[in-house]
Amino acid sequence: MPLVQRDSEENLNSPTPFPAALLASTFPQGGRAVVIGASGGIGSAVEAVLTGSGAFAEVIGLSRSTDPGLDLTDEASITAAAEQIGSGPPLRLVFVASGLLHDGAMQPEKALRQLDPVHMARALAVNAIGPALLLKHVVPLLPRTGRSVIAFLSARVGSIGDNSLGGWISYRAAKAALNQIVRTAAIEVARTRPEAVIVALHPGTVDTGLSQPFARSGLDVRPPNDAADELLNVVAGLTPVENGGFFDYRGRPIPW
């Protein structure tokens, strides 16, 4: 497989190479890259790496605070953003870094008794329904020939097979739903765009507002810049063989 593979603990701890050359060599020249959630820690770092790589003719960052704004809970804003990114250079990469784990009023559940239907609906709206609507409007913009990638930030806690701790029910369910949406969309896209790849990626624990309250001692907490390099290395190595897959930031498959 072309994904980043390392065979020992020594290699696992070695620095990840800067992905600029890999991106430039695996994407057709003259294309456009779009980062959704560009105002967040990982999204802003990914946008910076893509801009500096020179692999794309244009890099666009979108979020609720950009003009036009893109709010995953508002399909009209997704439609407007699609109209913008659909004109100009061919769309070659869409990196979706948006997600919701907690905010001032919403925290991940530790037990069933803490379930709140409003909070659960919001988690699903941001983490699953919004990305599905994004696919609805963005997939038609992908070129029918040549390599293109849509990568969604998912989370290992969305894996059903890897769940041994329980808790975080709404977030786990929403990310599991996202993974199914990615898998299903990938199957459909392959019929008309055989070189396109749609995947879910686990970024690990990154020093961002989403992870900070839960970054326990002993976890490998990485700065956003490092996470962006690692994730884009995985993106650079994706082929149609990996279409519809779920991978961590080192390119290793994660069980559904």
Q: Is the pLDDT of residue 8 over 90?
A: no
Residue 46 lies in a domain: yes
44 in a structural domain: yes
Q: Which residue carries 């808790």 as its tokens?
A: 167
pLDDT at 231: 97
Q: Is residue 49 situated within a structural domain? A: yes
Q: Of all residues in the chain, what percent carry a pLDDT higher than 70?
A: 88
CATH assignment of the domain containing 112: 3.40.50.720
Mention every residue, 6+ apart, whose C-beta is less than 8 A from residue 81: 62, 68, 70, 137
Strands, E, within 43-174: which ranges? 58-62, 91-96, 148-153
Please check the confidence at residue 17 and state whether its pLDDT lies above 60.
no
3-state class of 112 per DSSP? helix
The average pLDDT across 128-138 equals 98
Domain presence at residue 7: no
What does DSSP say about strands 196-202 and 91-96: parallel, antiparallel, or unpaired? Answer: unpaired
What is the tally of structural domains in the chain?
1
Mean pLDDT value of segment 151-165: 96
Is the residue at 203 inside a domain?
A: yes
Between CA 67 and CA 91, with CA 150 as vertex, the angle to 5 degrees is 60
| Low-confidence winner among 7-11, 19-23, 72-76, 176-180 (lowest mean pLDDT) | 7-11
3-class secondary-structure state, position 128: helix
> The domain containing residue 193 runs over which residues?
22-248
Residue 162 lies in a domain: yes
Higher local confidence (pLDDT), 25 or 5:
25
Residue 211 has pLDDT above 70, yes or no: no
Average pLDDT, the chain: 89
Examine residue 9 and state whether it is found in any structural domain, yes or no. no
- 110 CB-near residues (< 8 Å, 6+ apart): 167, 168
Give the tens place of pLDDT for each residue, 28-57: 999 999 999 999 999 999 999 999 999 999
pLDDT at 15: 46
User: Is the residue at 179 inside a domain?
Assistant: yes
